[in-house]
Amino acid sequence: MSSPLPSATNKQGQSETQQASTLHHSEVRIRPEEVRAYDDSSRKPVLLAFFLALVWLLVGTVLGDLSSFKFDRPDLLTEQAYLTFGRLRPAHLNVMVYGWASTAMFAVSLWLMPRLCRTTLRWQFAAVSGILVWTLGLGIGLVLLLAGVSDGLEWLELDRYWADPLLVLGASLVGASIWKTLGARQVQHLYVSVWYIAASYPWFAIIFIAGNLPIFKGVESAAVNWFYAHNALGLWLTTVNLGLIYYLLPKIIGRPIYSYWLSLVGFWGLALFYALNGMHHLIGGPLPSWMIATSITASIMMIIPVVAVGINQHMTVVGRFGAMRYSPALTLAVIAAMSYTAVSLQGILTALASVNRITHFTHWTIAHSHLGLYMFVTLSLFGGMYYILPRVLGREWPSPRLIRAHILLAGGGMVLYVLALGIGGVLQGLSLMNPGEAFEISVAQTKPWLLLRSVSAVIISAGHLIFVYHCWRLAYSSRQGHAQHPPFFELKPVLVKKGSAS
Amino acid sequence: MTRLLVLIMGALATVMFALIVLVIMPRTMLADIKAPEQLKPLSALEARGRQIYISNGCIYCHTQQVRDSNFTADVSKGLGNRPSVPADYVNDAPHLLGTMRTGPDLFNVGSRLPDQNWQLVHLYQPRALVPWSIMPAFPFLFEHKAKAGPNEKTLNLPPAYAPREGVVVVSKDAEAIVAYLLSLKHAYPAPGNDLTKEIAND
Ligand code: HEM
Ligand code: HEM
C-alpha cells in the first residue's frame, strides 16, 4: 500500500527501525528538523520560481483581459500591430502556460521531490539556472511574438531558433535536479506523486523537441502540432498537478491514499491513452481518417484512468470534506481534483464526432480550455502555493479574509466564465451547423455571452490582484509571530467568517 | 513502484509509441502525396501575405478547412464544393487549419469574395462593410498620408470611416495579404491519390 509519506526505510533496507513500506502513515515519525532540512534545501529555486510565476500570472491576466475585451470592442487598441488580437491572444496562451503554470510547476516539483525522497535537493544550482534560462527564453519568445515573429503553430508560436532551445535547456536543467534527487533517495518506495512528477520532465522534453522540428509540412504539420499541444496538456500540465493533488489531499487530511492499485491504473492508463489523443483536435479535418479514429478511440479509453483517479481521490477525502474549512490548500485541491474529472468527462464528450461536429470551432472549446487550465491546473497551483509558501518562509498567511476573497473571486469568476462560454459555444455551434442561417446569426448569438465572459474576466483579475498582494504581504510581513505554531495550527476555520462556524 | 528503471522505461515507451503511431508512421505514408496540378504554388507576393496572415494571428479566428460532409454541414453551408483533403495542403508549412470559427472559413474565400477593393477596405475597417462584424480593424497595415504619391493606391472609404484629413494608402503588406486571400481557391476536384478516401473505402 502506498502511504502519503514514504516510510523511514532507507534504500538499502537497513534503517534502524526496519519499517516496511506498507507502513501506515500515522505511524511514520519524521522529526520536524528533518523536514525543515528538506525544505531549506529547495528554498532558493522554489521561491524564485514562485516569484516569477506570479509576475507572469499578472502579465497573462492583462493579456487575457485585453483579448476578451476586444471581442466586445473590436476597435479597441487597433493602431499598433503589437496590440492586435492576433498577437495578444497567443501571447496570453504562452505566458499563462509556459510562464505562470510551468514556472509554478517547477517550484512545486522542486519542493515535493526532497520531501518525498527524504533527502535534500541535489544540483540546486542547476535548478536555479534552469528556471532563469527558461524565463529568459520565454521573455525573448514573447517579445518576438508581439513583434510579429511566430512559428505559426498554436501552442508552439515561440520562435524555434531563439526561444525554444532556451526552454528545452531550462526544463532539462530543472529535470536534472529532480532526477538527481530521485537517484539519491533515502526511501525504497516511490510515492505516486513521484511517478507523475518525475515522468513529466522527460515527457516534456521529448514532445517539445518533436513539436518544434522544422521538417513537417501540410497535414503532417497539423498532426505534429496537435500531438504536441495535446501532450503538453496531458503529459505535462496535467501530470505535475495530479502529482501535487495526490500529495496535498492525504497529507492535509491525515490519512493515506485510498488504493494503490487505482493509483497505478490511473498513472499507466493516462500515460498510454493520453499520448494518443492528439488528433481529436482535428475531427472532420483533412487527415487520414484512421489517425482521427485512433485518437477518438484513445479519448474514450481515457475514461479508465480518469475514473480511477477520480474514485481514488474522492475516497481519500470522503467523510472529511469539513476539513476544507480549515485549509485553503485543501479546498483548492479538492475543487481542482473535481474539475479534473469534470473537464475530462467534458473532453471525452467533445471528442465524440456527434458532439464535435457542433462544438469544434466554437467558444465551447475555450470553456473547456479554461475549465481544465484554470479550475484544475491554476486552482491546484494556488492550493500548492497556499500550502508551500508558509512552510518555506516559516510564517503564516497574514489574512484569512484575503484568502476568502481570492478563492471566491477567482473560483466564482471562472465558473461564470465557463458557463457563459459553454452556453454561448453551443448556440454558436448550432447556428454554424444550420444551412439556412447566415454567418451573422452565429456572431449575434455569441455576443452577449462574450460580454458576460468579459465581466467574469474583471472578477477573476480582481482575485489575482488580491492573491499577489497577499503573497507580497506574506513575504515582507515582519518576522513577528514567526514560527510560534506550525502553519494552520490554529483550529479556527479560515474559510468561513467568524461566528458562522461553531 | 520501487524501481526507477520501470518508471523511466515505461514512461518513454508510451510516449515513443504514440510518436510512432501519430507522427512517424503518417510521415512515411503522407510523403507520397503530390500536389494536384491545379494547385498553384504561391507567388512571392502571396507568400509574403501568408507570412502576414501568420504574424497577425488571423488563424485564431479563421479556419482553412472544409470538414467531412458525412457528419458536418460545411459543404451544405457553401464553404466549398467538397471537403478538403491532404493533397490540398502539400505546400503549406506551417499548416493554417485553425481551430476557431469566430469568423468564416477562408479555404475558398478567393472564389467567394474575389474583389480586391472589398478585401482591402474590409481589412482596414471591417465595420465599414459589415456593420455587425467583430473582426479587428488592421489600420497598421496601411499608411496615412497627406497625399498619395505616384503609383500609390488609395482606399475608397465611406465618409464615416475615412480619416478627417489626408488619404489611406495601400502598403505592400496590405497588398500582399489580399493577394494571399484571393489565392485561396480550391474548387478543382479532389485528386485521385486522396488517402482519406482510399482508407475510408477499404
Ligand atoms: C484572467 C483570467 C483569464 C482570462 C480573462 C482569459 C481569457 C482568454 C481569452 C479571451 C482567450 C481567447 C479565446 C478565443 O480565442 O476566443 C483565452 C484563451 C486561452 N487561455 Fe485564457 N484567460 C484567463 C486565464 C487563463 C489561464 C490562467 C490559463 C492557463 C493557465 C489560460 C489559458 C488559455 C489557453 C490555453 C487559451 C487558448 C484556448 C484554445 O485555443 O482553445 N487562460 N483566454
Ligand atoms: C480525457 C480527457 C480529455 C479529453 C478526451 C479531451 C478532449 C478534448 C477535445 C476533443 C478537444 C478539442 C476540441 C475542439 O477543438 O473541438 C480538447 C481541447 C482542449 N482541451 Fe481537452 N480533453 C481532456 C482533458 C483535458 C484536460 C485535463 C485539460 C487541461 C488540463 C484539457 C485542456 C484542453 C485545452 C486547453 C483544449 C484547447 C486546445 C486548443 O484548441 O488550443 N483537456 N480537449
Tell me the domain boundaries of chain B: 1-31, 44-201
- For residues A196 and A243, the answer to whether their CB atoms sit within 8 Å is yes
Test site for ligand 1: of A67, A88, A233, most ligand atoms within 8 A of the Cβ: A67
Say what the pLDDT of residue B159 is. 87
Predicted confidence (pLDDT) at residue B146 exceeds the cutoff of 70: yes
Nearest to B57 among A85, A278, A360 (CB): A85
Chain B positions in Cβ-Cβ contact with residue A77 (cut-off 8 Å): none
Say what the pLDDT of residue B198 is. 46
CATH topology assigned to domain A20-489: Cytochrome C Oxidase; Chain A (1.20.210)
Q: Give the global pTM.
A: 0.93
CA–CA distance, A119 with A251 (Å, rounded to integer)? 18
Cβ pair B136:A80 closer than 8 A: no
Task: Report the pLDDT averaged over residues B30-41.
Answer: 87
Tell me the domain boundaries of chain A: 20-489
List all residues 6 or more positions away from B2 whose beta carbon is below 8 Å from its beta carbon. A21, A188, A189, A190
Report which secondary-structure segment, H or E, holds B169: strand B167-170
Test site for ligand 2: of A155, A287, A343, most ligand atoms within 8 A of the Cβ: A343
Chain B positions in Cβ-Cβ contact with residue A444 (cut-off 8 Å): 132
Q: How many CA atoms lie within 13 A of A135 on its CB side?
A: 20
Residue B178 vs residue A501, higher pLDDT: B178
Chain A positions in Cβ-Cβ contact with residue B84 (cut-off 8 Å): 285-286
Q: Which three cell numbers stand for residue A181?
A: 534527487
Give me ligand 1 centre to Cα A80, in Å: 22
Say what the pLDDT of residue A409 is. 97
Cβ pair A435:B76 closer than 8 A: yes
Residues A63, A68, A74, A76: is their CA dihedral positive or negative?
A: negative
Cβ pair A218:B54 closer than 8 A: no
Say what the pLDDT of residue B192 is. 64
Q: Which three cell numbers stand for residue A294?
A: 485512433
Say what the pLDDT of residue B200 is. 46
Q: Is the CB of residue B60 less than 8 Å away from at least one CB of chain A?
A: yes
How do the pLDDT tens digits run along chain A, 502 residues long? 344 444 433 334 333 333 444 445 555 567 888 888 899 999 999 999 999 999 999 999 999 999 999 999 999 999 999 999 999 999 999 999 999 999 999 999 999 999 999 999 999 999 999 999 999 999 999 999 999 999 999 999 999 999 999 999 999 999 999 999 999 898 888 999 999 999 999 999 999 999 999 889 899 999 999 999 999 999 999 999 999 999 999 999 888 999 999 999 999 999 999 999 999 999 999 999 999 999 999 999 999 999 999 999 999 999 888 888 889 999 999 999 999 999 999 999 999 999 999 999 999 999 999 999 999 999 999 999 999 999 999 888 999 999 999 999 999 999 999 999 999 999 999 999 998 899 999 999 999 999 999 999 999 999 999 999 999 999 987 654 445 555 554 556 667 655 444 3
What is the 3 state secondary structure string of A390-437? HHHHCCCCCCHHHHHHHHHHHHHHHHHHHHHHHHHHHHHHHHHHCCCC
Nearest to B57 among A90, A153, A219 (CB): A90
Say what the pLDDT of residue A491 is. 53
Q: Could you say which DSSP state residue A445 is in?
A: H
Q: ipTM > 0.90?
A: yes
Chain A positions in Cβ-Cβ contact with residue B10 (cut-off 8 Å): 268, 271
Residues A302, A306, A309, A312: is their CA dihedral positive or negative?
A: negative
**Ligand 2-lining residues (CB < 6 angstroms):** A 154, 233, 237-238, 280-281, 299, 302, 306, 340, 343-344, 347-348, 350-351, 356, 359-360, 365, 368-369, 372-373, 376-377; B 99
Is residue A96 within 6 Å of ligand 1 at its C-beta? Answer: yes
B118: nearest Cα among B107, B130, B135: B130
Cβ pair B85:A272 closer than 8 A: no
Ligand nearest to the CA of A353: 2
Residue nearest to atom 37 of ligand 1 (CA): A93
Can you tell me whether residue A263 is helix, strand or coil? Answer: helix
Cβ pair B56:A217 closer than 8 A: no
Identify the closest residue of chain B to A11 by CA–CA distance.
B2
Q: Is the CB of residue B36 less than 8 Å away from at least one CB of chain A?
A: no
Residue B116 C-alpha, separation from nearest chain A C-alpha, in angstroms: 21
Vertex B168 angle, CA B167 and B169, to 5°: 110
**A-B interface: how many C-beta pairs under 8 angstroms?**
238
Rounded to a whole number of angstroms, the distance between the first and last alpha carbons of chain B is: 44
Chain A positions in Cβ-Cβ contact with residue B138 (cut-off 8 Å): 78, 84
Q: Is the CB of residue B49 less than 8 Å away from at least one CB of chain A?
A: no
Cβ pair A288:B100 closer than 8 A: no
CA–CA distance, A97 with A236 (Å, rounded to integer)? 10
Mutate to test the interface with A, among B32, B52, B55, B138 (most CBs of A within 10 A): B55
Residues B2, B6, B12, B15: is their CA dihedral positive or negative?
A: negative
Test site for ligand 2: of A100, A155, A281, most ligand atoms within 8 A of the Cβ: A281
CA–CA distance, A179 with B8 (Å, rounded to integer)? 10
- For residues A401 and A343, the answer to whether their CB atoms sit within 8 Å is no
Ligand nearest to the CA of A238: 2
Count of beta carbons in the 10 Å neighbourhood of residue B181: 23
B109: nearest Cα among A87, A151, B118, B100: B118
Can you tell me whether residue B168 is helix, strand or coil? Answer: strand
Say what the pLDDT of residue A436 is. 87
Residues A303, A309, A312, A314: is their CA dihedral positive or negative?
A: negative
Ligand nearest to the CA of A420: 1
Residues B141, B144, B149, B153: is their CA dihedral positive or negative?
A: positive
Say what the pLDDT of residue B196 is. 47
- For residues B13 and A268, the answer to whether their CB atoms sit within 8 Å is no
Residue A436 C-alpha, separation from nearest chain B C-alpha, in angstroms: 8
Say what the pLDDT of residue A353 is. 94
Cβ pair A218:B30 closer than 8 A: yes
Nearest to A219 among B86, B138, B200 (CB): B86
Chain A positions in Cβ-Cβ contact with residue B139 (cut-off 8 Å): 78-79
* Rg for chain B, CA atoms, rounded: 22
Give me ligand 1 centre to Cα A356, in Å: 20
Work out the widest C-alpha separation in chain A, in whole angstroms.
78
Cβ pair B14:A286 closer than 8 A: no
Cβ pair A231:B15 closer than 8 A: yes
Say what the pLDDT of residue A464 is. 98
- For residues B102 and B134, the answer to whether their CB atoms sit within 8 Å is yes
Chain B positions in Cβ-Cβ contact with residue A87 (cut-off 8 Å): 55-57
CA A232, chain centre distance (Å): 11
Q: Is the CB of residue B101 less than 8 Å away from at least one CB of chain A?
A: yes
Give me ligand 1 centre to Cα A89, in Å: 8
Q: How far is CA A256 from CA A142, A233, A253, A259, A294, in A?
A: 43, 28, 9, 9, 37
Predicted confidence (pLDDT) at residue B202 exceeds the cutoff of 50: no
Nearest to B99 among A151, A227, A365 (CB): A365
Cβ pair B68:A284 closer than 8 A: yes
CATH topology assigned to domain B44-201: Cytochrome Bc1 Complex; Chain D, domain 2 (1.10.760)
Give me ligand 1 centre to Cα B3, in Å: 39
